[in-house]
Amino acid sequence: MANHDQMTNAEAREAPLVSVIIVAYRSQELLRACLTSLRSFAPRAPMLVHVVDNDSGDGTPEMVEREFPEVDVLRAGGNLGFSAANNLAIRRTAGKYVLVLNPDTRLLPGALEHLVRLMEERPEIGMCGPRLVREDGSLDHAGKRSFPSVLSALGHFTGVGRRAAGGKLAAYRAPAVEGGRVDAVNGAFMLIRRAALDEVGLFDEGYWMYMEDLDLCYRFARAGWITWYEPAVEVVHVKAGTTGPSRSARLDYAFHYGMHRFYRKWYAPRRFFATNAVVYAGIWAKFALSVTRSSVRRARARTPARLHPAAVRRS
């Protein structure tokens, strides 16, 4: 996607340095803002953007084709989920780098340019991510993570670890890492070296949504590739912009199944049966609690409209 006179769209399509992949589902306005930021702050190198529409049914592909003709639009024909939809586009790309980007992100000036330069200078880095910030400028702690342990997951999901400055309960959000090598970066923005991806493999399509980014980072680490967190670069992330503040039951299931799958795939073979049973029970007990809380929140959100005092007076 060129915004420089010396580079045409045709040149970018023939030899992109960066292939950007955005999976979209009913996020038209967020996607428009994301694509606008890419158009405005593209790196000084050939780049091609692919948008995979997961059967939004809201005119998203038509909007992209009309307003961003330089973007390659793929219609998935159904809601494939995050992993499969990204893989669909990755298989079509030829860029030296693949940028997996969420539609609820917005690039800031120089962000992608800086990270591409970092990857060019450091061939041992297989993947990197920026400091993610929310719209109010506050830090999104999900931008960098450590691989979970039972204690760090417990700390994270109970909230204790999120408030702690350090220690095992706070380890999931990697508080000791100010910048540099880290276990994992967030799937909202992952700049990936194609050579590393070819070696390690694409996203595991057994994850429909959630935890597939952590799984990919884990495989990169096992293969000896460095994942890098770059705090000098900021990208805006509209937290839960594509899923809403309250997950549906389907998304809640996908989230907890992702936890289950990650643990079963990487940790369970090295643990005792009793330990695994306790972990699995804890994951699905949390799922039941999460579904209940989400249902209550949705019910409360609807209640004011039905029981507003003015409505009662008019009845």
pLDDT for the residue 296? 81
Residues 125 and 70 occupy one common structural domain? yes
Residues 129 and 269 occupy one common structural domain? no
CA contacts within 13 A on the Cβ side of 162: 8
CA contacts within 13 A on the Cβ side of 98: 26
Could you tell me the CA-to-CA distances from 217 to 123, 146, 165, 180, 244 in Å, in that order? 17, 10, 24, 15, 26
Residues 215 and 66 occupy one common structural domain? yes
Predicted confidence band at 310 (pLDDT cuts at 50, 70, 90)?
very low
Residues 126 and 213 occupy one common structural domain? yes
Residue type, 50: H
Question: 134 vs 298, which has greater pLDDT?
Answer: 134
Q: What is the pLDDT of residues 235-285, one digit of tens each?
A: 999 976 555 556 788 999 999 999 999 999 999 999 999 999 999 999 999
Residues 72 and 133 occupy one common structural domain? yes
How many domains does the chain divide into?
2
Residues 217 and 260 occupy one common structural domain? no
Residues 196 and 263 occupy one common structural domain? no
pLDDT for the residue 263? 96
Residues 76 and 212 occupy one common structural domain? yes
Residue 95 lies in a domain: yes
**Whole-number Å distance between alpha carbons of 32 and 256:** 30
**Whole-number Å distance between alpha carbons of 254 and 231:** 30
Q: What is the pLDDT of residues 117-134, one digit of tens each?
A: 999 999 999 999 999 999
pLDDT for the residue 308? 44
pLDDT for the residue 152? 85
Name the residue with tokens 């060129």.
2
Residue 155 lies in a domain: no
pLDDT for the residue 167? 75
Predicted confidence band at 55 (pLDDT cuts at 50, 70, 90)?
very high
pLDDT for the residue 11? 44
Residue 314 lies in a domain: no
Q: What is the pTM of this model?
A: 0.87
Residues 109 and 232 occupy one common structural domain? yes
**CATH code (residue 47):** 3.90.550.10
Residues 96 and 46 occupy one common structural domain? yes
pLDDT for the residue 3? 39
Residue 93 lies in a domain: yes
**32-60: average pLDDT:** 95
Among 237, 264, 284, the domain-final residue is: 237
Residues 269 and 296 occupy one common structural domain? yes
Least confident among 33-42, 142-151, 206-215: 142-151
pLDDT for the residue 246? 65
Among 193, 209, 237, the domain-final residue is: 237
Among 215, 237, 259, the domain-final residue is: 237
Residue 156 lies in a domain: no
**Whole-number Å distance between alpha carbons of 250 and 227:** 30
Residues 259 and 138 occupy one common structural domain? no
**130-157: average pLDDT:** 90
Predicted confidence band at 15 (pLDDT cuts at 50, 70, 90)?
low
pLDDT for the residue 247? 73
Question: 27 vs 2, which has greater pLDDT?
Answer: 27
Predicted confidence band at 7 (pLDDT cuts at 50, 70, 90)?
very low
Residue 200 lies in a domain: yes
Q: What are phi and psi of 68, to 5 degrees?
A: -135, 70
Give the domain range for residue 41.
9-146+182-237
Q: What is the pLDDT of residues 85-119, one digit of tens each?
A: 999 999 999 899 999 999 999 999 999 999 999 99
**Whole-number Å distance between alpha carbons of 27 and 161:** 31
CB neighbours (10 Å) of residue 16? Answer: 22
